[in-house]
Amino acid sequence: MDAAPPAAGQDFRREFVDFAIRIGVLRFGEFKTKAGRLSPYFFNAGLFHDGASLGALARYYARAALASGIAFDMLFGPAYKGITLAAVTAVALAEMGHNVPFSYNRKEAKDHGEGGSIVGAPLAGRVLIVDDVISAGTSVRESEALIRAAGATPAGVLIALDRQERGQGALSATQEVSRDYGVPVAAIATLDDVLATLAGRDDLRDRLPAIEAYRRQYGA
């Protein structure tokens, strides 16, 4: 599908943060990240694990895809978390009048039946990669290689939350992916949205100082 014009209303981003807090996907406390940093918050997309929460998540992904301005012809979900995310996002997009195909990869190629490592629609045209978060960018690198090997074009990456913190250098992990692979990275919500949401909630405003301090230390 062609790029949609930027959505006039971006309220869904803070709605998503409130939703993630309500069902316990976004938590506050002290958590060790993959980079070894002690973070005052943690986002675990694996906790969208029932029909209602997954359906709501899919609609947020679909709205973010349409609001991103990225032109894409199909979705691709990197194994493993991305498989479910791409599938449900395709369903939500279809319900919104944008029916696009999707596919995903196996970790190990199948040598019988249909064979190969790609399941679903053939990789073709402009492919939007759908995943939960970007940390080291490994799944994006593997997905990009699969998409190009099939003769298709990576159109961009869509994730749930952009932590907006430094990756290997001064840039954020998402900025590094965008630079390294020449594709835009869009998110349902960012750390800016988390901070704005907390600032508007009396019950969670006391979490702001720790997150702001963390951002000063590790923010991109």
The yes-or-no verdict on residue 145 having pLDDT over 50 is: yes
Backbone angles phi, psi at 103, to 5 degrees: -150, 170
CB 164 within 8 A of CB 178: no
CA 172 → CA 78, 168, 199, distances in Å? 21, 8, 23
For residue 215 the two structure tokens come to: 């951002």
19-33 per-position pLDDT tens digit: 999 999 999 999 998
d(CA 100, CA 212): 39
Sign of the four-CA dihedral 21, 25, 30, 36: negative
For residue 48 the two structure tokens come to: 């969208």
d(CA 129, CA 143): 7
For the stretch 193-198, contacts whose Cβ atoms lie closer than 8 Å and that sit 24 or more positions apart, written own/partner, are 193/13, 193/14, 193/16, 193/17, 194/17, 194/26, 194/41, 194/161, 196/14, 197/14, 197/17, 197/18, 197/21
67-109 per-position pLDDT tens digit: 999 999 999 999 989 999 999 999 999 999 999 999 999 876 6
Q: How many CB atoms lie within 10 A of CB 200?
A: 11
Q: Which CATH number fits domain 50-191: 3.40.50.10800, 1.20.120.140, 3.40.190.10, 3.40.50.2020?
A: 3.40.50.2020
Domains in the chain: boundaries: 50-191
- pTM, two decimal places: 0.91
- pLDDT for residue 112: 45
88 CB-near residues (< 8 Å, 6+ apart): 54, 55, 57, 58, 61
Catalytic residue numbers, as ranges: 110, 112
- pLDDT for residue 7: 45
182-206 per-position pLDDT tens digit: 999 999 999 999 999 999 999 999 9
Q: What percent of the chain has pLDDT over 70?
A: 92
CB 75 within 8 A of CB 18: no
d(CA 172, CA 120): 32
CB 61 within 8 A of CB 85: yes
For residue 167 the two structure tokens come to: 């990756």
